[in-house]
A and B are shown apart, each in its own frame.
Chain A
Amino acid sequence: MKNTRPALNAAIAACAFLVLAVELFPIFITIAAGFRRDIEILGAGPFSLKFTTRSWFLVLFKSTEFLGYVGNSVMVALFSTALSLAAGSLAAYGISRFRFHGRDALAYSFLVFRMLPQISLVVAMYMMFQAIGARDTIWGLTLAHSSFNVPYVIWMVLPFFAQIDRSYEEAAVVDGCSRFQTFRRVFLPLAASGLVVAAVFAFIMSWNEFLYALILTSTRAKTAPLHVAGFIAADGLKWGQLYAAGTVLLVPVFVFTVTMQKFLVHGITAGGVKG
C-alpha cells in the first residue's frame, strides 16, 4: 500500500534514520575511539567527539607486525576464494547442465555441508594438520577456509548459471568443442557476473573467519582478526591501537555491504552468514 500522506511519510523517514543511527552508534563510537588519545578515551567520556589524533593509525601502518597479519588474511582469503571458485564453478556447472543419478541429492548435500558448525570439524582438523605439517601455514588455513567456501560458491553461482541460455554451449558442442572447452571458453565468460559475486562473498567469509585461525594458526600464518583478539586479551591498555586496527579490518566489510546490496539476501540464504 503506497502512502500518500506526506507528513506521515516524513515521520517514517525520520523514524527510519533514527533506527539506523542507534544501530550504527556502537560501530561509530568504536571507530571514533581510534582517533582519540588514551587520556581522552579514559577521561573525556565517549560522547565528546573530538578527533584529535591519527597517531594510532600511523603506528599501525608502520608496524610490520600488523601489516604482516593483514597480509596473511589477504593471502588466505584470496587463495581460498580462487580455489573455491575453481572447484565450485566446475561442480555447479556439472549440477546445472547435466542430468545424472543423485544430482539433486548431491546439490542439497553441498548446502548441508555449508551449514556444518566449524567447532565440529576444527578439533579433528587440528590433529590432521598437526600430523601432516599443515598447522600454522597459509596453505593449511586456506584449505580449512575452503571447507565452507567450496559449498558456498556452488550455491552462490547456481542461479546465475541457470539463467544462461544453453544455445551457445550447444552450438559450441556441435562445432566440436569438448565439454570442458565449452565450459572454459564459452560458458565462463557468460557467467562472469555470477562468478564475481560469488568471489566477493567467499572473500568476505574468509576475511571475517576467526575460529579456524584461532586453532589452526599461532604465529606464522596468524590472521588479522586473531591479532586483534590478542590485543584485547594481552594488552588491555592499548585501546587506541585496538580500535584503529578494528577500523582497518572493517573497511572491506563496509565496501562489501554497500556494493553487494543487491545480492545480500541471496548470499545469506545460500547458507548463513558466518564462515
Chain B
Amino acid sequence: MSYSSRRTSRKPRGFSLEGGSPGTVLRFLLPALIFVFAVLLFPAGYSLYASFFNWPLNDASAREFIALGNYARLFTDPEFWNSLKLQAGFIVIALPIELALGFAAALLLNREFPGAGVVRTLLLLPVFMLPVLSGFTWRYMLQPDYGPINWIVAALGGKQVLWLNDPTLAYVAVIIQDVWRMWPFMFMLLYAGLTTIPEELFEAAFMDGASWGQRLRRITLPMLRPTVITALLLRLIDALRIFSEVYTMTEGGPGSSTLLFSLYTHRQAFSFFRVGLASAMAIFLLVLSVAVAMLIVRKNMRLEEMSKGADA
C-alpha cells in the first residue's frame, strides 16, 4: 500500500508513526463520526423507524404502528410503479446518450489545438452549475411563446409546441435537460481515461498498419472499459436521486408525467403528509443507492489509488 510505503531512514529504531493508542486515533476520528451519526445515520435510522408507522405529518395522535404496511401499500400503489417506471426510463434513455456524446467528444478533443484547454474547461460549466439554474434555463429555452427553441421551430415553419404542458414532451424535455447538463461529465471522465492510455500502444499498432477503426476497437475501447463503468455508476448514483432540476422545470407534472422517484417521495411527504409512506420510499431508494455506491467503491475506489490521484 502506498499509504504506508513512505518510510524514511531517519526515524529511530522501533518507532512507528502509524502506532497510536486507540484513544489518540479516536480523537482524530471522533468529530467526523459525530457528524455522520447526527446527520446521516440517525436520520436514516429514523426513516426506517417511521416507515413502520402510519404517520401523518400534521397529526401526531393518529400515528399507529403498521409494521410492513407502508411497504405493502407501495407495492399496490400504481403511482409508485409509475414513478419507478419513469425513473428507470429516464436512466435507461439519458445515460447511454450522455455516454455516447461524451465518448465522441473525448475522442475529438484528445489532441492539442489552440484553445483546447478552454474548450475542455468551459464544457464543464453546465455540470457544476446550480441544478435550479439549469432547470430554469430550460424552462426559458422551452417557453412556448418566446423561448428560443420554439423560435427555431417557428422559423422552420413549425407550429407552437407546448413543451412542458404535454405529458410526453415534458418527459422528453426533462431528459434533454439532463443530457445537456451531464454529457460533459461523461466527457470529462472518459477524456481523463483516454489520456492515461500509453501512447506507445497506438504507435506500435500504427506501425503494424492498424487502421483508425481497428485501433479504436482493439486498444481504446478495452483500455477504457473500467473508466466507462466507473463513469456510468457515478452517473447512475446521481441520476437515481435527481430532484432539483426536475422540480424547477415541471414539479413532476403535468399530472404525474415527470414524477420521478425523489419527486414522488417529496410529494407524499409534503403534499399528502404521509410521512410513513414517504419514509418507506426513502428507505427503498437508500438501499438501492447503497448497493450502487458499494459497487463503485468495490470496483475502483482503492485507497492506494486515491493516494496518487490528486491531480490526475
CB distance from A69 to the nearest CB of B (A): 12
Q: Is A127 part of the contact surface with B, judged by Cβ < 8 Å?
A: yes
The interface residues of chain B lying within 8 Å CB-to-CB of A180 are: 27
Whether the Cβ atoms of A117 and B148 lie closer than 8 Å is no
Whether the Cβ atoms of B15 and A170 lie closer than 8 Å is yes
Q: Restricting to A90-121, which residues have a CB under 8 Å from any CB of B?
A: 90-91, 93-100, 104, 106-108, 110-113, 115-121
Q: Is B159 part of the contact surface with A, judged by Cβ < 8 Å?
A: no
Can you list, as one digit per residue, whether each of A149-166 has a CB less than 8 Å from chain B (1) or not (0)?
011001100111011011
CB distance from A20 to the nearest CB of B (A): 5
Q: Restricting to A207-261, which residues have a CB under 8 Å from any CB of B?
A: 207-208, 210-211, 214-215, 225-226, 228-229, 232, 239, 242-243, 246, 249-250, 253-254, 256-258, 261
Whether the Cβ atoms of A179 and B24 lie closer than 8 Å is yes
Q: Restricting to B35-78, which residues have a CB under 8 Å from any CB of A?
A: 35-36, 38-40, 42-44, 46-47, 50
Chain B binding surface, main DSSP class: helix
User: A111-B301, A210-B244, A232-B248 known; A106 and B189 CB under 8 Å?
Assistant: no
Whether the Cβ atoms of B192 and A265 lie closer than 8 Å is yes
Q: Is B108 part of the contact surface with A, judged by Cβ < 8 Å?
A: yes
Whether the Cβ atoms of B275 and A123 lie closer than 8 Å is yes
CB distance from B45 to the nearest CB of A (A): 8
Whether the Cβ atoms of A94 and B25 lie closer than 8 Å is yes
Q: Is A133 part of the contact surface with B, judged by Cβ < 8 Å?
A: no
CB distance from B40 to the nearest CB of A (A): 5
CB distance from A136 to the nearest CB of B (A): 15
Chain A binding surface, main DSSP class: helix
CB distance from A140 to the nearest CB of B (A): 10
Whether the Cβ atoms of B140 and A158 lie closer than 8 Å is no
CB distance from A127 to the nearest CB of B (A): 7
**How many Å lie between the Cα of A125 and that of B130 in the bound state?**
23
The interface residues of chain A lying within 8 Å CB-to-CB of B126 are: 23-24, 27
User: A116-B290, A159-B309 known; A124 and B43 CB under 8 Å?
Assistant: yes
**How many Å lie between the Cα of A15 and that of B206 in the bound state?**
25
Whether the Cβ atoms of B311 and A253 lie closer than 8 Å is no
Whether the Cβ atoms of A120 and B293 lie closer than 8 Å is no
Whether the Cβ atoms of A159 and B306 lie closer than 8 Å is yes
Whether the Cβ atoms of B141 and A9 lie closer than 8 Å is no
Whether the Cβ atoms of B286 and A116 lie closer than 8 Å is yes
The interface residues of chain A lying within 8 Å CB-to-CB of B12 are: 174
**How many Å lie between the Cα of A128 and that of B43 in the bound state?**
8
Q: Is B4 part of the contact surface with A, judged by Cβ < 8 Å?
A: yes
**How many Å lie between the Cα of A159 and that of B310 in the bound state?**
5
Whether the Cβ atoms of B44 and A117 lie closer than 8 Å is no
User: A23-B126, A210-B244, A257-B128 known; A98 and B28 CB under 8 Å?
Assistant: yes
**How many Å lie between the Cα of A215 and that of B6 in the bound state?**
47
The interface residues of chain A lying within 8 Å CB-to-CB of B206 are: 1
Whether the Cβ atoms of B129 and A253 lie closer than 8 Å is yes
Whether the Cβ atoms of A116 and B39 lie closer than 8 Å is no
CB distance from B124 to the nearest CB of A (A): 6
Q: Among the listed A19, A112, A124, A208, which residue makes an inter-chain contact with B293, where contact means beta carbons less than 8 Å apart? A: A112
**How many Å lie between the Cα of A29 and that of B7 in the bound state?**
56
Q: Is B202 part of the contact surface with A, judged by Cβ < 8 Å?
A: yes
Q: Is B17 part of the contact surface with A, judged by Cβ < 8 Å?
A: yes
**How many Å lie between the Cα of A58 and that of B112 in the bound state?**
42
CB-based nearest B residue for A87: B31
**How many Å lie between the Cα of A94 and that of B4 in the bound state?**
13
Whether the Cβ atoms of B17 and A229 lie closer than 8 Å is no
Q: Is B82 part of the contact surface with A, judged by Cβ < 8 Å?
A: no
The interface residues of chain B lying within 8 Å CB-to-CB of A104 are: 303
Whether the Cβ atoms of A90 and B43 lie closer than 8 Å is no
The interface residues of chain A lying within 8 Å CB-to-CB of B310 are: 159-160, 163, 194, 263, 266
Whether the Cβ atoms of A23 and B241 lie closer than 8 Å is no
**How many Å lie between the Cα of A25 and that of B311 in the bound state?**
30
Q: Among the listed A83, A88, A106, A112, which residue makes an inter-chain contact with B290, where contact means beta carbons less than 8 Å apart? A: A112
Interface CB pairs A-B, < 8 A, 17? A19-B119, A30-B141, A46-B151, A108-B297, A112-B293, A117-B286, A121-B39, A123-B282, A128-B42, A147-B40, A159-B309, A166-B6, A171-B10, A225-B133, A253-B125, A266-B311, A268-B127
Residues of B within 8 A of A (CB): 2-4, 6-8, 10-12, 15, 17-20, 22, 24-25, 27-29, 31-36, 38-40, 42-44, 46-47, 50, 105, 108-109, 111-117, 119-133, 136-141, 145-148, 151, 180, 184-185, 188-189, 192, 199, 202-203, 206, 215, 230, 234, 237-238, 240-241, 243-244, 247-248, 261-262, 265-266, 269-270, 275, 278-279, 282-283, 285-286, 289-290, 292-294, 296-297, 301, 303, 306-312
A120-B241, A121-B40, A121-B282 given. 8 additional CB < 8 A pairs? A1-B199, A26-B180, A33-B140, A112-B297, A158-B303, A160-B310, A253-B128, A266-B310
